């Protein structure tokens, strides 16, 4: 059985995330997602999430490509995780290209997948920041018609 792992925050889950998870799962038989905890996001990544860890975990667990969700508590745990979970392939988006090549020394294949170019969580957040309340209200009202 080939085991694959990927890491991320997965806040404001969107089809770019789904594409990444689908492609990661296609590389093996079992996909583990290490999900950044609220503490790790706020303290080490200096990132504020819209959804809590438990909410993000529940969303990921509902995706058919994901077999297991584990907490990511810090940058340094990747080396431990690849051994603990008997990982064959480590997958990340190509915006991290080269950053995790040290895992090759642990006997793991490291793959950087191209991201879905037209979508990102940052873009979604910026789009909502640039709209006024009337625009946002109109979007949700129009969707309900």
Active site residues: 45, 47
CA distance 41 to 74: 9
DSSP for residue 32: E
CA distance 145 to 140: 9
**Cα Rg, the chain, nearest whole Å:** 17
**Neighbour order of strands in the sheet with 30-36:** 68-72, 30-36, 3-8, 89-93, 109-113
CA distance 122 to 8: 14
């Amino acid at each position: 059985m080939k085991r694959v792992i990927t890491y991320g925050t997965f806040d404001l889950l969107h089809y770019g995330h789904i594409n990444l998870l689908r492609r990661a799962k296609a590389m093996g038989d079992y996909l583990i997602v290490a999900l950044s905890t609220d503490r790790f996001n706020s303290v080490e990544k200096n990132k504020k999430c819209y959804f809590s860890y438990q909410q993000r975990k529940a969303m990921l667990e509902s995706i058919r490509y994901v077999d297991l969700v584990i907490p990511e508590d810090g940058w340094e745990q990747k080396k431990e995780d690849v051994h603990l979970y008997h990982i064959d392939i480590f997958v990340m988006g190509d915006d991290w290209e080269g950053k995790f090549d040290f895992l090759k020394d642990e006997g793991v294949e490291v793959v950087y997948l191209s991201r879905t170019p037209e979508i990102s969580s940052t873009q979604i957040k910026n789009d909502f920041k640039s709209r006024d309340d009337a625009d946002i209200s109109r979007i949700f009202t129009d969707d309900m018609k």
